[in-house]
Amino acid sequence: MHELSIAMSIVELAQEEADRRGDIRIKAVHLRLGALSGVVKDALFSSYAMACDDTPLEGSRLVVEDVPVIIFCKQCDGQRPVHSTQMFCCADCGTPTGEIVQGKELLVVGLEVEE
Amino acid sequence: MSAKTRMIEVRENVLKQNDIVARELRRKFHDAGVFVVSMVSSPGAGKTALLENTLTRLRQECRVAALVGDLATENDAARLARSQAPVKQIITGTVCHLEAAMIDRALEGWKLDELDFLFLENVGNMVCPSSYDLGEDLRLVLMSVTEGEDKPLKYPTIFNSADVALITKIDLATAVEFDATAANRNIQAVRPGMAILDVSVKSGAGLDEFLDFLRARRADAQTVLGARAAT
């Protein structure tokens, strides 16, 4: 359960970004969360509310965009989704591959702010 | 007063701080010529037993050391110290994984260029350590035969973050009716092409192969770094 420390990093990072831009108030933080990030979304939501307590972000929302795993399939010679995280093979042709192109993201991509 | 809401686009990695420290550690390790191997598994899979054996044996031929992470107690460090290798305990308190900054702090005052191998034993946990780069060259994930063949399917992320899978306590395989074919199939399903080694510290099975594997990986890394330095 490392979601609380992740949530605290998100809050800190968002606040630093806001501070750099002057007198603004964060209403929501938008996050891209990869299926292989190792972070559990539900635990992150509850941790986020806790991490925001007594900070300028108190009452703000966390908006999460799930990022699926994309692999490079040599057989198809292109980027393809995987069958599942339990079955790392090309969803189209079934070739097993460990070449991950996307899915480890844990990125703050946007802040909804009020001026 | 009416407030106006607008969207600011940013692109910040939440684990940026850890990744920066890990990158710096990796550079330091490479400059010093030390090959760094980390170990992750659930509690009780046999990380400490394998590490104690590995330190004892590798110490006969090269310079080895270890850092070991636990939420509490110095028991593992005391146990590993029997190998006579330098060992330091990292007590993480409530933190369920090692982070790069903890490694960096623990290594303060250590002369890395006097080491050939450094081992990092993570806190026993199959979830959280997967998110944190520690600057290691090689990450081993251990699963014991008593844990069930479907462990990789339940924890695909940790297997995906690792380079090599070790199946431990292989001497108990028959007693617990371990299905090696299913275990291998499940590991390959979540991490195609992953190297798998079977070991038992108790019987000694697979330990020579494991050390050969570590020596070969270290030699490979040195060749790559040597070639990079020459260009």
Q: What is the pLDDT of residues A78-101, one digit of tens each?
A: 999 999 999 999 999 999 998 999
| CATH code (residue A83) | 3.30.2320.80
Q: What is the mean pLDDT of chain B?
A: 95
- Number of domains chain A is built from: 1
Residues of A in contact with B194 (CB under 8 A): 98
Size of interface A-B (CB pairs under 8 A): 106
A89 interfaces chain B, CB cutoff of 8 Å: yes
Give the pLDDT band of residue A115 (cuts 50, 70, 90): confident
Tokens of B59: 């110490």
Residue A5 forms contact with B (CB below 8 Å): yes
| Higher local confidence (pLDDT), B43 or B231 | B43
User: Per-residue pLDDT for A16 more than 80?
Assistant: yes
Give the domain range for residue A81.
3-114
Q: Is the pLDDT of residue A114 over 80?
A: yes
Taking the CA of residue B101 and the nearest CA in chain A, the distance in Å comes to 14
Sequence-distant (≥ 6) Cβ neighbours of residue B49 within 8 angstroms: B168, B201
pLDDT more than 70, % of chain B: 99
* Share above pLDDT 90 across residues of chain B, in percent, rounded to a whole number: 88
Q: Are B7 and A39 a contacting pair at CB < 8 A? A: no
Mean pLDDT of B52-59: 97
Q: Are strands B164-168 and B195-198 parallel, antiparallel or unpaired?
A: parallel
Is A9's CB within 8 Å of B9's CB?
no
Please answer yes or no on whether B97 and A97 come within 8 Å at the CB atom: no
C-alpha triplet B124, A37, B144: angle, nearest 5°: 30
Q: What pLDDT was estimated at residue B229?
A: 80
Least confident span in B19-33, B69-83, B167-181: B69-83
Query: What is the model's pLDDT at position B51?
Result: 97
Which amino acid makes up residue A14?
Answer: A
Under 8 Å CB-to-CB from B98, ≥6 apart: which residues?
Answer: B38, B69, B90, B92, B120, B122, B123, B129, B132, B134
User: Given this model, what pLDDT does residue B2 score?
Assistant: 55
Check pLDDT > 90 for residue B227: no
How much is the pLDDT for B133?
Answer: 96
SS3 call for B13: strand
CATH of region B17-219, choose from 3.60.15.10, 3.40.50.300, 3.40.50.11540, 3.40.50.2300: 3.40.50.300
Structure confidence at residue B1 (pLDDT): 46
Q: Which residue of B has its CA nearest to A87?
A: B189
Q: Which whole number is the average pLDDT over A57-66?
A: 97
Distance in angstroms (rounded) separating the CA atoms of residues A49 and A58:
7
Q: Is B10 on the interface with A (CB under 8 A)?
A: yes
- Taking each helix axis as running N to C, give the angle between helix A41-52 and helix A3-20, from 0 to 180 degrees, rounded to the nearest 10: 50
* Residue B53 CA to its chain's centroid (Å): 16
Residue B60 pLDDT exceeds 60: yes
pLDDT in tens, B116-156: 999 999 999 999 999 999 999 999 999 999 999 999 999 99
A1 with B96: Cβ contact below 8 A = yes
- pLDDT band at A46; cut points 50, 70, 90: very high
How many angstroms away from the CA of B80 is the closest CA of chain A? 27
Query: Does B93 contact A at CB distance below 8 Å?
Result: no
Residues B33, B38, B44, CA angle at the centre, nearest 5°?
150
Please indicate if any CB of chain A lies within 8 Å of the CB of B192: yes
ipTM of the complex: 0.87
For the stretch B20-33, pLDDT in tens is 999 999 999 999 99
For residue B3, pLDDT beyond 80: no
CA distance, residue B105 to nearest chain A CA (Å): 19
User: Tell me, what's the pLDDT at A24?
Assistant: 87
